[in-house]
A and B are shown apart, each in its own frame.
Chain A
Amino acid sequence: ETGVTQSPTHLIKTRGQQVTLRCSSQSGHNTVSWYQQALGQGPQFIFQYYREEENGRGNFPPRFSGLQFPNYSSELNVNALELDDSALYLCASSARDTEAFFGQGTRLTVV
């Protein structure tokens, strides 16, 4: 167990809907990163939050957005869902100069 928890574990949404995924970071970690892992692929960096500010973003459209709260937990929001958004979404927390610890992921299916 890494101390990083994600909810929900599975989710099914319809194309065009909106979804919110949640992540509780490990105690003492002030940085949260989100990754998208399509089936059979490696995770792709979506964005990172450091002390409640977005601090780096990958090649994802603006309909992917996020928040980090004062307790360093985080949300990933995706608007106008598309079929290609179906993937495993991983959250990772870290502190300065430490490795990232991952949650168990949220499996999102868009139908």
Chain B
Amino acid sequence: AQTVTQSQPEMSVQEAETVTLSCTYDTSENNYYLFWYKQPPSRQMILVIRQEAYKQQNATENRFSVNFQKAAKSFSLKISDSQLGDTAMYFCAFMKRDFGNEKLTFGTGTRLTIIP
């Protein structure tokens, strides 16, 4: 079974600064995906960024980037030039690549607050 651990229950940062959210995971699988999802007060889970385990290059989406360390089973999210709209719960999630049987295993989340 897979586990995902987010050790920072809450974080806050000044607007325009950079913040890094941590995530570690445990798995014996070799073929999988990792995700960061954002959940604002509206409750809808929104995909922020996705990383395929077989890719060595770290994924980047505009202001969002990850530091994927496969051997260390670490997957952190860096938010650059943070904006007020980034205030939300952030969940790290793991998914084994198994066509037709793909479930997400989530961490407990990090509540991020961007301070004006």
Contacts and interface: CB of A to CB of B under 8 A. Distances in A.
Interface string A82-103: 0000001010101011011111
B44 interface: yes
Contacts of A88: 43
B35 A99 contact: yes
A20 interface: no
B45 A102 contact: yes
Contacts of B35: 99
B30 interface: no
Contact of B103 (A2, A41, A48, A102): A48
Given A97-B99, A99-B50, A45 B104 contact: yes
Contacts of B42: 104
A96 B4 CA distance: 23
Contacts of B62: none
Contact of A45 (B44, B100, B105, B109): B105
Interface of A: 2, 31, 33, 35, 40-45, 48, 50, 55-56, 58, 88, 90, 92, 94, 96-97, 99-105, 107
